[in-house]
Amino acid sequence: MEFLKWLVGSSGFMPHGYCYRWVPGLVWLHGISDSLIFLAYMSIPVTLMYIVRRRKNLAFNGTFVCFGVFIVACGLTHAMEVWNLWHAMYWLAGMIKAVTAAASVATAVLLVRLVPQAVGVPSAGELSGANARLIEQAAALSASEEKFRGLLEAAPDAMVIVDPGGFIELVNAQTERLFGYTRQELLGQSVDILVPKTLREGHGAHRHGFFAAPKVREMGKGLALYGLRKDGTEFPVEISLSPLETDTGTLALAAIRDGTQRRKAETRYRALLEAAPDAMVIVGSGGIIELVNAQTERLFGYAKQELLGQSVDILVPKSSREGHGAHRQGFFAAPKVREMGKGLALYGLRKDGSEFPVEISLSPLETDTGTLALAAIRDGTERRKAEAKYSALLEAAPDAMVVVNQAGEIILLNLQAEKRFGYYRDELLGQQVKNIIPVGFAERLIADGTRTAAEALIQQIGTGIELSARRKDGSEFPIEIMLSPLENAEGILVTAAIRDISVRKAAEEALRQSEERLRLVVSSVTDYAILMLDLDGCVVSWNEGAERIIGYRAEEIIGQHFSHFYLAEDIDKGKPVFELAEATSNGRSEDEGWRVRKDGSRFYANVVVTALYDETGRLRGFGKITRDITERRRSEEHLVKTAEDLKRSNDQLEQFAYVASHDLQEPLRMVASYTQLLARRYQGRLDSDADEFIAYAVDGCNRMQGLIRDLLAYSRSGSESKLLREISGETALDEALANLRVSIEESGATVTHDLLPDLTTDDTQLVQVLQNLIGNAIKYRGTAAPLVHVTATNNGGKEWIFAVRDNGLGIAPQYFERIFIIFQRLHGRQEFNGTGIGLAICKKIVERLGGRIWVESQLEKGSTFYFSLPESNGD
Amino acid sequence: MELHVTGMAAFEILLVEDSPGDVRLTREALKDAKMHINLHVVSDGIEAMALLNREGEYANVPRPDLILLDLNLPRKDGRQVLEEIKANPALMTIPIVILTTSASEEDVLRSYRLHANCYISKPVDLDGFLTVIKSIDNFWLSIVKLPHEPGL
């Protein structure tokens, strides 16, 4: 303490300020300068200290320390100067100076010692250059180190670097992960900690072997290696070794892979192989069998052991072995998946010596040890058989069969195809199908952008497509093709069945033409409405005649029900329905009746509805033919009306004639009767004139009565209803003759006849006719006794021609017609009695019965009166 | 009381005939008849029925034994008279001879259907007519037995 006090005491000295007389300028000049120097000096050691600390390996260490001390002390000295301006601590200042002196001397001495070294120190440029190079090298080294380290770290496998002593020098992260250790736990350890205890001995040997002859290899080839994790579990590993040259010697770099997956995959693969339905044989490039599956054993009859390691040739028939070898070499030269022996029939050889057809597919199998060939072998017997059967079928097919591939080439055809197209088989094989079917086939096979070939095909399957085909000679003929797909290993083929449809086409054409003709006929018929109805009675077809007669146009009426043509009351009565029903049950229905047109007007129609059947006999619809018979009906009605009028007028006439005659008779009778009475009562009592007068009167009356009677008879004859019966002409004749008995006897007439027929007519009237004619024949006789002959002949026209021949007076030709007129006589009353009514009555009767009457005669020779009557009444 | 044999009983014949000519002829024809005939004549159907029913002026006319009936009569037609007579139980038994100019089959049939006893078509000539009347007389008044109904 005393010392200290002394050090800092001013001890009566005067501060330096006094030396400067306390001139401010001067004081401050010294003060500030020394302060600045102090600061600068202090900063330098600070900087130096910093450098020393930063650069730990600094050479010239001592020198720097000394220098530092020197500067510090010097700085302090200046600081004391400043202090000493106001405080005279000269002892302290002096101490500090002394220190400074010591330090400076030391430094100077050291510095002198450094001179040779300092001279040898490279210049800044050299230094920086050397520095730069050093930096580069260092960088390169660290880069490759980095890369190496990076590779190692990044490797998917666990990488372990082991020295010849078996100690682990380096591991990567994967190693940590795989084995469950941290890096630190492994570095420096024996690599054996990663090896299962059981394998360690062997492992050691291997290691020695490796270091003796280091080269890249797969470790433990063929053996199942295992690794040991930290937790004691073992797992399969695959290890590749490579030597690593370092300056310190060769190291072993082991790449270790977890083999669990691969082992699993291998097992699965093996299982797959075993389970494969085909025989699987794996063959090396030398032709040695490396692997077979159970199916191989079964197929070839060998046990697995018998095959492994053998040449695959033992499975090949002797005759094929040479070629097989060449093929195998070709395969290994350019390994790719292929079907073996394409196009050839391959055979396999069983253990028992039997051969059988096989199909083989080859695929290359890459392994680390090289390429292997995996052959899948299938028993081709069945397929060979199926192929043979298929070929046989193809050949036997009645149609031409052609099999075409995706490229449009014909790859198979049958005999019929040869015949139909006029080619030999080999002329067509390989040809484009376009050459025989120019259009329509090849296009259908093509997969265009919108569909695949399979889809394109499926669209065509089964449909009968009509195309045109071309023969070898260039002629074309129509065909129908049916396509079906055929899949084989090479893709989809198309089998086409080709049928020549020329005949069918001709028939179709003929049918079409006949249909066309029919249609023409139907449509052009304008007088008949010809329509077709469906099962419900709706109009299906309509012709021109229908339009003309009924008024509807086709488009208006098709689909409508045909009851449109019927009157409302007929529809209510169910007439249309009835017609269809009748047509259905009887095949046909005919009707005449009123129908109505489109405009509502009526027409009278004859309608025939016919049931139409298809080829199976099933009812398909109805055909309807309608005829407008309005005109006909009108004329019919007119006729009927006219006939009715006629009849009425006839009736009236007859009635009139009858009534007239009848009513005339009455007064006539009075006159006649009383004149006769007069004549009787007063005959002889009056004069002769009176007698004469009375005679004339009576005579007149008689005549009148006769006329009226005949007129009555005439009017009555034929007006009665006819009784048409099958009657015997013979009987009629007999009756007539019986009525004429008296005149026959009186005249001595002989009446003969041929056999008279039976016919259908009114017997009374026939009697009347015969009676009149025979009566006339007798009456109008000549001098000889009358000979009358009655005949009847059939003229083949369903008529009987009766003839009454006499030998009487005959008739002059100009009277042939006149004699049939009522009351016409050719003779006077004096000559022959009669009113001239007989022939008129005959004519009336005969004509009413549907016949004719006429005469042939020769004057003085005789006459033959003919009349015809229909066999069965046609009136 | 004296029985006057004045000859046989007289036949009452009713002639229904509208033609006076025919009436006269009939009378002439019946002059030669064997029997005594009382001829009553009416000229239409109504009178005929009145007489038969003894109406009015005919109250005391005796019932005819035979009726000669013409078909075509004015007022009431002969056919109807026939029908009425034959429907009347009191009169139906009187034989009716249709004596007419009509020869139509229809009239013939109809008359028989209406139960006429016979049908004669008047002949157009005198002799014929006389013969027919005489035949009627012969047949109906001599040969045939006529019914007599008591009380009528």
Residue with tokens 């029900």: A561
Q: How far apart are CA A288 and CA A377, in angstroms?
A: 16
Q: Give tens-digit pLDDT for A78-102.
A: 888 888 888 888 888 888 888 888 8
**Residue B21 contacts residue A674 (beta carbons within 8 Å):** yes
* Residue contact B21–A673, C-beta within 8 A: yes
Chain B residue numbers touching A673 (CB-CB < 8 A): 21, 25, 125-126, 129
**Two tokens at A459?**
């669209």
pLDDT band for position A757 (cuts 50, 70, 90): confident
Please name the residue of chain B whose CA is at the shortest distance from the CA of residue A669. Answer: B124
Q: How far apart are CA A820 and CA A425, in angstroms?
A: 99
Locate the chain B residue with the closest alpha carbon to A703. Answer: B125
pLDDT above 70 (res A466): yes
Closest CA in chain B for residue A674: B126
**Count of alpha carbons within 13 Å of A434, Cβ hemisphere only?**
10
Q: How many CA atoms lie within 13 A of A410 on its CB side?
A: 25
CA distance A783 to A787: 11
- Percent of chain A scoring above 70 in pLDDT: 93
Beta bridge partner(s), residue A461: A483
For residue A272, pLDDT over 90 is answered with no
Q: What pLDDT was estimated at residue A790?
A: 94
Q: Provide the pLDDT for residue A110.
A: 80
Q: For residue B67, what pLDDT is reported?
A: 94
CB burial of A770-793 (b: ≥16 within 10 Å; e: otherwise) equals bbbbbbbbbbbbeeeebbbbbbbe
Instruction: Tell me which chain A residue has its CA closest to the CA of residue B29.
Output: A677
Beta bridge partners of A170: A161
pLDDT of residue A485: 77
What token pair was written down for A96? 């500090």
Mean pLDDT of A242-255: 82
Tens of pLDDT, residue by residue over B29-44, are 888 777 788 899 999 9
Cα–Cα distances (Å) from A713 to A668, A705, A776, A822, in that order, read 17, 12, 17, 12
Q: For A25-39, what is each residue's pLDDT tens digit?
A: 888 888 888 888 888
Higher pLDDT, A169 or A337: A169
Closest of A328, A265, A276 to residue A298, by C-alpha: A276
Alpha-carbon separation of residue B3 from A92, A778, B6, B10 (angstroms): 244, 65, 9, 16
Q: Which residue from B21, B105, B122 is facing A674, i.e. has the nearest CB?
A: B21
Specify the range with the lowest mean pLDDT, choosing from A138-142, A621-625, B41-45, B144-148.
Answer: A138-142
With vertex at residue A475, the alpha carbon angle to CA A471 and CA A481, rounded to the nearest 5 degrees, is 55
Q: Which residue of B has its CA nearest to A675?
A: B126
Give the whole-angstrom CA distance, residue A265 versus residue A279. 20
User: In chain B, where does DSSP find H-type helix?
Assistant: 20-31, 45-52, 78-87, 105-113, 126-136
pLDDT at B138 over 70: yes
Contact at CB, B21 and A670, closer than 8 angstroms: yes
Partner A contacted by B79 (CB < 8 A): no
Report CB contact under 8 Å: B28, A676. Answer: no
- Distance from C-alpha of A604 to C-alpha of A270, rounded to nearest angstrom: 98
For range A598-605, the mean pLDDT: 89
Q: Which of A658, A664, A669 best tests the B interface by mutation, with the highest count of B CBs <10 A?
A: A669
The rounded distance, in Å, linking the Cα atoms of A402 and A495 is: 6
Two structure tokens written together for A788: 């009358």
Answer whether residue A870 shows pLDDT above 60: yes
Closest Cα in chain B to A699: B125
Would you place residue A59 in the very low, low, confident or very high pLDDT band (cuts 50, 70, 90)? low
> pLDDT tens across A8-57, in order?
776 678 888 888 888 888 888 888 888 888 888 888 877 877 777 777 66
Q: What is the pTM of this model?
A: 0.37
Residue B100 has a CB neighbour count (10 Å cut-off) of 23
Measured between beta carbons, which residues in chain A are less than 8 angstroms from residue B102?
662
Most confident segment among A249-253, A415-419, B92-96, B127-131: B92-96
User: pLDDT (tens digit, 9 = 90+) per residue, A180-189?
Assistant: 888 888 888 8
Is A150 or A339 the better-scoring residue by pLDDT? A150
Residue where the block lists tokens 């065909």: A479
Nearest to B124 among A680, A709, A720 (CB): A709
ipTM, 2 decimals?
A: 0.76
Inter-chain contact B127–A676, Cβ cutoff 8 Å?
Answer: yes
> Which H or E run contains A252?
strand A249-258
Q: Is B9 on the interface with A (CB under 8 A)?
A: no
Distance between CA atoms of residues A516 and A506, nearest Å: 15
Reported as a single tens digit per residue, the pLDDT across B63-88 is 999 999 999 888 888 999 999 999 99
Question: How far is the alpha carbon of A639 from chain B, nearest alpha carbon, in Å?
Answer: 31
Residues 6+ apart with CB under 8 A from A674: B21, B25, B126
What does the alpha-carbon distance between residue A552 and residue A258 come to, in Å, rounded to a whole number?
A: 95
CA–CA distance, B119 with B134 (Å, rounded to integer): 15
Q: Are A313 and A286 spatial neighbours (Cβ–Cβ below 8 Å)?
A: no
Q: How many residues does chain A have?
A: 875
pLDDT grade for B5, boundaries at 50, 70 and 90: very low
Reduce the DSSP state of residue A211 to 3 states and report it. helix
B24, B126, B127, best to mutate vs chain A, most A CBs in 10 Å = B126
Whether B102 and chain A come into contact, CB under 8 Å, resolves to yes
Q: Please report the pLDDT score of residue A455 as a whole number.
A: 64
pLDDT (mean) for A298-327: 84
Mean pLDDT of chain A: 82
**Which residues in chain B are contacts of A668 at CB distance < 8 A?**
124
Residue A872 has pLDDT above 80, yes or no: no
Burial B63-82, CB ≥16 within 10 A → b, else e = bbbbbbbbbbbeebebbbbb
Q: Using a CB-CB distance cutoff of 8 angstroms, which residues of chain A are in contact with residue B105?
A: 720
Question: How far is CA A275 from each of CA A182, A270, A290, A292, A862, rounded to the nearest angstrom?
Answer: 44, 9, 17, 11, 132
Strand partners, B100: B121
| Region label for A293, one of left (φ > 0), alpha (ψ between -120 and 50) or beta (otherwise) | beta
- Return the DSSP state at A261: H
pLDDT per position as a tens digit, A371-398: 888 888 888 888 778 878 878 888 888 8
User: What is the structure's pLDDT at A483?
Assistant: 80
pLDDT of the residue at B1: 40
Element (H, E) at B38: strand B37-42
Mean pLDDT calculated for residue range A720-743: 85
A708 and A664 Cβ atoms separated by less than 8 Å: yes
Rg over CA atoms, chain B: 15
Cβ atoms A494, A483 nearer than 8 A: yes
Quick one: which of B38, B51, B21 has its CA closest to B124?
B21
Give CA torsion, residues A826, A828, A829, A830, to 10 deg.
-130
Tokens for A637, please give them: 């009605």
Q: Mean pLDDT, chain B, as a whole number?
A: 86
What's the pLDDT at A446? 58
Question: How many CB atoms lie under 10 A from the CB of residue B51?
Answer: 22
> Parallel, antiparallel, or unpaired: how do β-strands A355-367 and A338-339 relate?
antiparallel
pLDDT reported for residue B4: 41
Chain A closest-CA separation from residue B101 CA (Å): 7
Bridge partners of A237, per DSSP, are A225, A258
Consecutive H or E run containing A842: helix A838-848
For residue A339, pLDDT beyond 70: no
